[in-house]
Amino acid sequence: LTKSDVVKIVLENRQSEPSEFGEAFAPANIALAKYWGKRDEELNLPRTSSLSVSLGEYGSYTKISQNGNGDSYTLNGQAVATDSTFARRLGLYLDLFRPAKDFFFRVETVNSIPTAAGLASSASGFAALAFALNDFFQWHLDKTAISILARLGSGSACRSVYNGFVEWQAGIEESGMDSFALPLPHTWPDLCLGLIEISSEEKPVSSRAGMKRTVETSVLYKSWPEKTEKDLERLKTAIEKKDFELLGQTAESNALAMHATMIAAWPPLLYWLPKSLETIHKIHRLRDDGLPVYFTMDAGANIKLLFEVKDMDDVRCQFENIKIIRPFDRPGEKV
């Protein structure tokens, strides 16, 4: 199946009736049990389920309207060059939704993710875009449908449809109609994330290319699906029981196992920089000294700390320029 086939299934016989504009916000997310490896590259269908936490107010706001002559995009108020990778990727995604060949879009996106944090914005970006398209065309889709549409833009975007803890169920269907995110019913108000920027440079190999290379060449990839399934169950137990140690250990171990599969790929994928390793050792030292702090990493050099609010001051004074996010610290907010 192609993306376009899936869009037809999701939209059923809905008419696309453009309004003046559509707009939406979606949070960024950080996976605690990672999405690493696809079973279908066209539809971004994963080999395993994954579990993430959304970043509350940190994410992407997107406004979409019709544009007269050709698509036009802005990112944080700046025009995006039409021949950039970003514009090409967006244009291909929008092709799936044009009511006519000569229907063009104006897309304005503002990211509230601290740019210095080195967090990918494709997850919140495609989730906000899917919501904004739904608003613009007045489709009245539910969140499951939006999650599926967001996934067609970027796999991890399907998780950015919800706040709080989110599970992306891998599904087994060829069409991927059973591969979407669902929110977990628990909150964890004391949970803190700390973003530590190691490098702001663009990573040498994209996540997309990195996971493909890993699946195709890494001997360690065989062990990944089983590892992630176990970790996912452990994380759910930890979340249910508010067992921070279990949460931290599991997330850190899952991230390191993912990096192990990459390191064993060919050509090897080693996203770590000396400063990443230095920070990892520092975290381990702090833990040995009694500070319960753990980390996770994605396909890059940056490090994300996990700790509880009671340790916030101790953590803050150990890491210069740390950006602290409390994903559940939103009074009155319902997941």
> Closest approach of Cβ 147 to ligand 2P0, in Å?
13
Chain centroid offset of residue 304 CA:
13
> Closest approach of Cβ 37 to ligand 2P0, in Å?
10
**Residue 118 neighbours by CB distance under 10 Å:** 22
Nearer to ligand 2P0, 67 or 199 (CB): 199
Nearer to ligand 2P0, 99 or 204 (CB): 204
> Closest approach of Cβ 234 to ligand 2P0, in Å?
16
Interatomic CA distance for residues 48 and 34, integer angstroms: 9
CB contact set of 179 (below 8 Å; sequence gap of 6+): 43, 45, 46, 148, 151, 158, 168, 169, 170, 171, 173
> Closest approach of Cβ 316 to ligand 2P0, in Å?
25
Longest dimension (CA), the chain: 63
Per-position b or e across 193-227, b if 16+ CB within 10 A of its CB: bbbbbbeeeebebebeebbbbbbeebebbeebbeb
Q: For tokens 């950039």, what's the residue?
A: 84
Interface residues with ligand 2P0 (CB under 6 A) are 31, 34-36, 44, 50, 120, 122, 154-156, 207-208, 298-299
Residue 107 backbone dihedrals phi, psi, to 5 degrees: -120, 120
Instruction: Give one DSSP letter per residue of 88-146, joined into a string.
Output: HHHHHHHHTT-SSTT-EEEEEEEE-S-GGG----HHHHHHHHHHHHHHHHT----HHHH
Q: By 3-state DSSP, what share of the chain in percent is helix, strand and coil, each rounded to 5?
A: 40, 20, 35
Nearer to ligand 2P0, 24 or 31 (CB): 31
> Closest approach of Cβ 299 to ligand 2P0, in Å?
4
Nearer to ligand 2P0, 47 or 143 (CB): 47
Nearer to ligand 2P0, 286 or 294 (CB): 294
The two three-digit tokens of residue 136, written as one number: 């613009």
Nearer to ligand 2P0, 134 or 254 (CB): 254
> Closest approach of Cβ 254 to ligand 2P0, in Å?
9
> Closest approach of Cβ 150 to ligand 2P0, in Å?
10
The two three-digit tokens of residue 335, written as one number: 């997941």
> Closest approach of Cβ 154 to ligand 2P0, in Å?
3
Nearer to ligand 2P0, 228 or 286 (CB): 228
Asked whether 26 and 128 are in contact (CB, 8 A), the reply is yes
Nearer to ligand 2P0, 208 or 326 (CB): 208
CB nearest ligand 2P0: which residue?
155
Nearer to ligand 2P0, 105 or 271 (CB): 271
The two three-digit tokens of residue 43, written as one number: 């539809």
> Closest approach of Cβ 229 to ligand 2P0, in Å?
14
Interatomic CA distance for residues 107 and 71, integer angstroms: 8
Preceding omega of 267 cis (within 30 degrees of 0): yes
Interatomic CA distance for residues 163 and 278, integer angstroms: 32
Asked whether 318 and 201 are in contact (CB, 8 A), the reply is no
